[in-house]
């Protein structure tokens, strides 16, 4: 997904929460808005789809303590760190560029390379900002070489955010450097939130060759699918009669298919069913889909339905679902 300029986008306003909202408030607001604007709920509505993406981006930043702190600092200092990138082609045409480096420097161009005493901060950086390329190999844009063999240049670090679908199917993003050059990063299918992708030879140049670029990947949560390792967990609503009598129903998968699953008679809320091989697909293995039964009890009943339930209650009056509860609850 394309990123937005942190300076010009008010993530708090997008989620409708105050700047001092805690994690629970932010999560609650996100879930409500994600349900409201989800594409499945608003088919063909481009405006709703864009709002859904904006809500997901806002939640990704504000739900992460470190990113939220950086975002607040950037907004307070009046200097942005993320800028929209040019679109790029990828597998299936769904690839997007995330411009993480461009515009970080107030000069709008490449950083000064003449030392670390330039005005405004270390190495010409605006005061208060760290060198986003990291200091793993000697700090900043310099390099330290030891021993007899020439050392490789320092690794650089970056981060990007992708959609949940991108994490399942794989995607491609582009990271733009200060000079406008775009580095294409292929994100493999099955990547988990917080994992890193290594791009060989895209780090700092050294006497022994270039270091690597380490890209940390954030995955936007999905309102229906929940990842559990390589398994995918979903909650499947079933009616009271389906739970009592049993039924075969359809459930969507992360691979865009509808699969039939048998709900056994007598199923209760929380019962977990398994669809083999319908989870995350990676080279090494395939996860399963864990379908959690969620029995729906109607809030209102017709007279006929109420009479049927009352008849059921009378027919099962000798069954006590709380039998032995007191004994099990003893300390």
Q: Does the pLDDT of residue 75 top 70, yes or no?
A: yes
pLDDT in tens, 124-154: 344 443 443 444 444 444 444 444 578 888 9
CA 102 from chain centre, in angstroms, equals: 23
Pairing of strands 289-296, 272-275: antiparallel
Q: What are the structural domain ranges in the chain?
A: 11-219, 226-315
**Whole-angstrom distance, CA of residue 248 vs CA of residue 267:** 12
Q: Are 211 and 204 in contact (CB under 8 A)?
A: yes
- In tens, the pLDDT along 92-116 reads 333 333 334 433 333 333 343 334 3
Q: What's the chain's Rg over C-alpha atoms? A: 26
Per DSSP (E only), the strands in the chain are 83-84, 98-99, 156-162, 171-176, 182-187, 196-199, 205-206, 209-210, 213-219, 226-228, 231-239, 247-252, 258-263, 272-275, 289-296
Q: What tens digit of pLDDT does each residue of 199-223 get? A: 999 988 888 889 999 999 999 999 9
- Model pLDDT for residues 276-315, shown as the tens digit of each residue: 999 999 887 899 999 999 999 988 999 999 999 999 999 9
Share the mean pLDDT of the chain: 79
**CATH number of this structure's domain 11-219, picked from the four choices 2.60.40.3120, 2.60.260.20, 3.20.20.70, 3.40.50.300:** 2.60.260.20
Identical fold, 11-219 and 226-315: yes
Phi, psi (deg, nearest 5) at residue 214? -105, 115
Q: What is the CATH number of domain 226-315?
A: 2.60.260.20
pLDDT, one tens digit per residue, over 223-258 is 999 999 999 999 999 999 999 999 999 999 999 999
Q: Are 83 and 5 in contact (CB under 8 A)?
A: yes
Greatest mean pLDDT among 47-56, 74-83, 108-117 lies in: 47-56
State both tokens at 4: 């937005």
């Amino acid at each position: 997904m394309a990123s937005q300029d942190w300076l010009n986008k008010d993530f708090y306003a997008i989620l409708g929460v105050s700047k001092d909202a805690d994690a629970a408030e932010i999560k609650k607001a996100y879930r409500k808005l994600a349900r409201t604007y989800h594409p499945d709920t608003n088919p063909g509505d481009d405006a709703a789809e864009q709002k859904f993406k904006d809500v997901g981006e806002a939640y990704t930043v504000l739900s992460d303590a470190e990113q939220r702190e950086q975002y607040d600092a950037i907004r307070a200092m009046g200097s942005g760190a993320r800028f929209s990138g040019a679109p790029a082609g990828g597998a299936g045409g769904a690839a997007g560029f995330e411009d993480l480096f461009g515009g970080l420097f107030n000069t709008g161009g490449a950083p000064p390379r003449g030392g670390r005493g330039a005005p405004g901060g270390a190495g010409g950086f605006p005061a208060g900002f760290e060198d986003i390329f990291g200091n793993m190999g000697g700090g900043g844009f310099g390099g330290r070489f030891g021993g007899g063999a020439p050392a490789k240049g320092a690794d650089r670090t970056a981060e990007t955010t992708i959609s949940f679908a991108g994490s399942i199917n794989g995607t491609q993003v582009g990271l733009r450097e200060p000079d406008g050059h775009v580095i294409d990063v292929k994100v493999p299918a099955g990547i988990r939130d917080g994992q890193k992708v290594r791009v060989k030879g895209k780090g700092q140049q050294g006497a022994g060759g270039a270091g690597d670029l380490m890209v940390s990947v954030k995955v936007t949560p999905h309102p229906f699918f929940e990842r559990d390792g390589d398994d995918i967990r979903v909650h499947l609503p079933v009616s009271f009669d389906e739970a009592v009598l049993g039924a075969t129903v359809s459930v969507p998968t992360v691979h865009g298919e509808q699969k039939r699953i048998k709900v056994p008679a007598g199923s209760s809320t929380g019962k977990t069913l398994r669809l083999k091989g319908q989870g995350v697909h990676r080279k090494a293995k395939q996860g399963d889909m864990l379908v959690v039964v969620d029995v729906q009890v109607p809030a209102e009943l017709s007279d006929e339905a109420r009479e049927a339930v009352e008849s059921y209650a009378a027919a099962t009056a000798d069954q006590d679902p709380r039998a032995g509860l007191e004994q099990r609850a003893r300390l």
